[in-house]
Structure formats: structure tokens, C-alpha cells
Amino acid sequence: MEDTGTIVAFWLLAALTVGSALGVAAVRDLIRAVVLLITSFLGVAGLYITLSADFVAVAQVLIYAGAISVLILFAIMLTPLASRDNAETFLQVPGLLLAGLVAFTMGFVSLKTDWSVVERGGFEETAAEIGEALLSKYVLPFELASVLLLVAMLGSILLVRPEGSSAEE
């Protein structure tokens, strides 16, 4: 992280990510909160790139900004009784207290820890290595994740079947 380009990019992306995340909590309208959340996802993808994790960055955009955000939007839209605003609640003060405590703890830990800094040797391609790792060393989690996704798909199909219909192909 020596050259100025990366440093400038890091600070911009960090500001974008943290700023949108704060906006998600602070904005009144729920849908606008989701749009800010998407911006925060994109910021995180940028941060992955500064760490030379190119595949993870693109996967972040594809999955989070492309699919999960749509999932959240649909969930908001299909819950008719949910109020569409980040309303005032009586839990504001306890919430702020808790958030402050967590922030303090994390800041304290991150400043006190002795991070071992690794000398990065340029930008390598990660996609091929991730692929090999997924199919050799981490094949069990990979298969478990696929089974989980299959169960989710079957569950959603079962949920929306019209009632009383006969078993189709």
C-alpha cells in the first residue's frame, strides 16, 4: 500500500462505505436505506480490490449488490404491515449506548493489536487458486453450501405452489 493511488482509493472507498452505512441507520425512508446499503456494498467491493482480491470483489458486486439487495427490496415490499420508515423507537438511547460500547471495544482492540504486516508482492490473480482450493481442500463446505442452496430453492418452489394442484413434472 505504498503508492499514492492505492492510498487515495482506500480513503475514498472507506469514506463511501462508512458514510453509506451510517446513512442506512440514519435515513428515514426504508427504501432509501436499502439504496445506501447497496452503495456500501459497492464500497466494500472496492476495498477488496485494494487488497488484490479481484475475484472476491467481483463476486461481492454480483451477489450482494445484484442479488441480495433485490432480495431485501422484495422482502420489504412483500411485508405489507412493515412501516416504510425508520421510525423513532423507545430503544434509541440504549441502542446508542450499546453501539458506542461496541465501537469503543473494537477500536481499542484494533489499535492495541500488533498486526503483523505482510509485504505484498504485486497483484496476483486469485480466481484460479480459489477455484482449486474450493474443489480440493474445501470441497466439503462447498458441497454443503450447494446442498443448502438446493434445499432453499426447493423450499421456495414448494411455498408458491397453488393449492390443490396435482404433482407436475
Partner 1 sequence: MPFDPSTGSGLRTGPFLAEWYDLRDLGNAVGAFLDWIRDQGAPDWVPYVVSGLIGVVAILLWVILSQLAFIWIERRVIGRMQARIGPNRVGPQGLLQPIADTIKLFLKEAITSRKADRALFWVGPVLIFLPALAVLAVIPFGRGMFLTDLNVGVLFVIAVASVNTVAVFVAGWASNNKFALLGAMRTVAMLISYELIQVLALLGVVVFAGSMRMGAVVDWQSDFNVWVLFLQPLAFISFIIASAVEIGRSPMDISEAESEIVAGYHTEYSGIKFGFFYAAEYIAAFAVCGIIVTLYLGGWTAWGLEQWVPGWLLFLGKLYLTFFLFIWTRGTLPRLRIDQLMAFAWKFLLPLALLNVVVTGAEVLIWREADLSAGVALPIFGVVNAGLAVALILGWATFMGHLRPERRAKRAVLTQELGAIYYTPPTGTDEAVRTGEA
Partner 2 sequence: MAMKTEPFVVNVGPQHPSTHGVFRMRLTLDGERITDVDMVVGYLHRSMEKLAEERTFTQNIPFTDRTDYVAAMTGNLAYVLAVEKLCGIEPPERAQWLRVIMSELQRFASHTIAVGIFANDCGAWHTPMMHMLREREKILDLFEMACGARLTTNYMRIGGVSRDIPPEFMPAAHALIAELPKRMGEYEGLLLENEIILTRSRGVGVLPADLAIASSVSGPILRGSGVAWDIRKADPYAAYDKVEFDICVGTNGDVYDRFLVRVAEMRQSIHILEQALDMIPAGPVAVQMPLAPRPPAGEAYSRIESPRGELGFYVVSDGGPAPYRFHIRSPSYINLTAFSDMVVGMTVADAVVILGSVDIVLGEVDR
> Nearest distance from residue 163's CB to partner 2, in Å?
7
CA angle (150 as vertex; 148, 152 as ends), nearest 5: 70
Judged by beta carbon distances under 5 to 8 A according to partner kind, the member of partner 1, partner 2, none in contact with residue 163 is partner 2
CA distance 100 to 75: 29
Query: Binding to partner 1 (CB under 8 A): which residues in 124-163?
Result: 125, 127, 162
Query: Among 32, 55, 20, 47, which residue's Cα sits nearest to residue 129?
Result: 55
Q: Which is nearer to partner 1, 113 or 162 (CB)?
A: 162
Closest CB to partner 2 among 117 and 159? 159
Q: Is 163 in the site for partner 2 (CB under 8 A)?
A: yes
* Degrees, nearest 5: CA angle 135-137-142: 50
Q: Is the dihedral of CA 99, 71, 15, 46 positive or negative?
A: positive
Q: Which residues bind partner 1 (CB under 8 A)?
A: 4, 29, 31-32, 35, 38, 54-55, 58-59, 61-62, 65-67, 69-70, 73, 77, 125, 127, 162, 165-166, 168
